[in-house]
Amino acid sequence: MFDLSQKLNELSQQGLYRSRRIIESPQGINLICDGKPVINFCSNDYLGLANHPDVINAFKSAADKFGVGSGSAHLICGHSNAHHALEEELAAFTGRDRALLFSTGYMANMGTISALVGRGDTVFEDRLNHASLLDGGLLSGAKFKRYTHADAEYLDNLLAKADGNKLIVTDGVFSMDGDTAPLQVLSDIAKKHSSWVMVDDAHGLGVLGEHGGGILEQMGLNQDDVQVLVGTLGKAFGTFGAFVAGSEDLIETLIQKARPYIYTTALPPAIAEATRTSLKIIQTESWRRDKLRKLTGYFKSGAEQLGLPLMVSTSPIQPILVGSSEQAVAASNGLYDRGFLVGAIRPPTVPKNSARLRITLSAMHEEQHIDQLLDALEKPCYDEYL
Ligand SMILES: *Cc1c(COP(=O)(O)O)cnc(C)c1O
């Protein structure tokens, strides 16, 4: 018999129960959350584009032109000229031959890994990879090898013993830690073993690189170094959806074989048009990245002065390590009472005993918001939460 209520009670006792707060305002720094005004420190809308007037206008006029629904999958009659133009612009933006839109990042990862490897092949994944990358690896049916976080030497040894086609899969910027993958080394090792590298840059695109091209732009890695790039549109782009970029043959393979691409309805074309406007802002308004970098430095030095347990990240993802899940939830609730929205991230999203407050910064924050958060986090008060 299903005893769901007992299972739910167990989750609750372990501090692992998850619940949703209801937001009644647009995304931004100031949210109305369960009826209460709070300052937002947990969104992935790093550049403040989710509620940008130009993006909203592009969405509205495209809805007038295209309507709301796309009507079907891309391969039937859902692939509009808005989707097509966005794909061409994303390919140019990332310096790849082609790009292919997916409805979500989760689906892009599931679809891409399982289209590229299968029985007889081997997929290598960083232990701290996003759930969708791990799930994609498991779904593929390939031999599934996880390597210690960012440990190139360990990976090198695994690759030497592997069979079939080999695919190394990693987050670019790790979503719950904020640190970056050692991509130059990974790419060198991959070449040595005739492996491919797939990078999910959900948190780097728009944020890193002089033109917002993400971690690959920052590290100067091209399509020969990293064959498969995944980007999501719901984070720095402020809209919704995802894409994969790479060679002509890669994209054609995904169109033929990626089931989460083939068997799902295309994004609404108005989302694609809104995203084209986001992309222009990302490329032209580098002040947003500059400001975000400054705010990140400002937060880090303030938090260091307070002796808070920061992690190694230099990205706008700035987790504070807590350890126990119960304490992370208590800290998050304490901050909420003081008017700050900060998520408590717990297992299985992160490894056991490494629950944390995941603070994220946005170009829309001001130093004064950070001062207020640091005030609330000041050591004695932080310890009180725990
Ligand atoms: C958010 C995220 C995804 C999923 O993207 P969605 O478009 O939200 O489904 C995939 N990978 C990483 C690293 C992410 O952070």
pLDDT digits (tens, 9 = 90+) for 10-44: 999 988 899 999 999 999 999 999 999 999 999 99
Residue 28: what pLDDT? 97
Residue where a domain stops, chosen among 252, 284, 316: 284
Q: What's the 105 CA to ligand 1 centre distance in angstroms?
A: 5
Residue 15: what pLDDT? 85
Q: Which of 105, 103, 142 is nearest to 123 (CA)?
A: 142
Domain count, the chain: 2
Burial class from Cβ neighbours inside 10 Å (0-12, 13-18, 19+) for residue 374 reads middle
From residue 373, how far is each of 315, 332, 341 by CA, in Å? 18, 12, 10
Instruction: Mark 19-42 as b/e (b = at least 16 C-beta within 10 Å).
Output: eeeeeeeebbbebebeeeebbbbb
Could you tell me the residue range of the domain that residue 195 belongs to? 53-284
User: What percent of the chain clears pLDDT 90, i.e. is strictly above it?
Assistant: 96
DSSP state of 350: S
Q: What's the 324 CA to ligand 1 centre distance in angstroms?
A: 25
Residue where a domain stops, chosen among 284, 306, 323: 284
Q: Report if residue 307 sits inside a domain.
A: yes
Q: Report if residue 4 sits inside a domain.
A: no
Q: Report if residue 193 sits inside a domain.
A: yes
Same domain membership, residue 167 and residue 215: yes
Q: Which atom of ligand 1 is nearest to the CA of 233?
A: 7
Residue 175: what pLDDT? 96
Q: What's the 108 CA to ligand 1 centre distance in angstroms?
A: 9
Same domain membership, residue 350 and residue 233: no
Which residue's C-alpha comes closest to atom 10 of ligand 1? 105
Same domain membership, residue 225 and residue 302: no
Which residue is listed with tokens 């970029």? Answer: 245
Residue 193: what pLDDT? 98
Residue 380: what pLDDT? 58
Q: Report if residue 106 sits inside a domain.
A: yes
DSSP state of 173: B
Q: Which atom of ligand 1 is nearest to the CA of 172?
A: 13
Q: Report if residue 1 sits inside a domain.
A: no
Same domain membership, residue 294 and residue 260: no
| Ligand 1 lined by 175 (C-beta under 6 Å) | yes
Same domain membership, residue 195 and residue 61: yes
Residue 4: what pLDDT? 96
Residue of 43, 46, 130 with the most ligand 1 atoms within 8 Å of its CB, for mutation: 130
Residue 355: what pLDDT? 96
Residue where a domain stops, chosen among 284, 314, 336: 284
> Per-residue pLDDT tens for 210-250?
999 999 999 999 999 999 999 999 999 999 999 999 999 99
Same domain membership, residue 314 and residue 279: no
Find residue 3's DSSP bridge partners: none
**Helix/strand/coil for 167:** strand
**Helix/strand/coil for 344:** strand
Which stretches of the chain drop beneath a pLDDT of 70? Answer: 379-382, 385-386
Same domain membership, residue 209 and residue 235: yes
Same domain membership, residue 223 and residue 273: yes
Residue 381: what pLDDT? 63
Same domain membership, residue 162 and residue 299: no
C-beta separation of 367 from 298 below 8 A = yes
Q: Report if residue 135 sits inside a domain.
A: yes
Residue 378: what pLDDT? 86
Q: Which atom of ligand 1 is nearest to the CA of 203?
A: 15
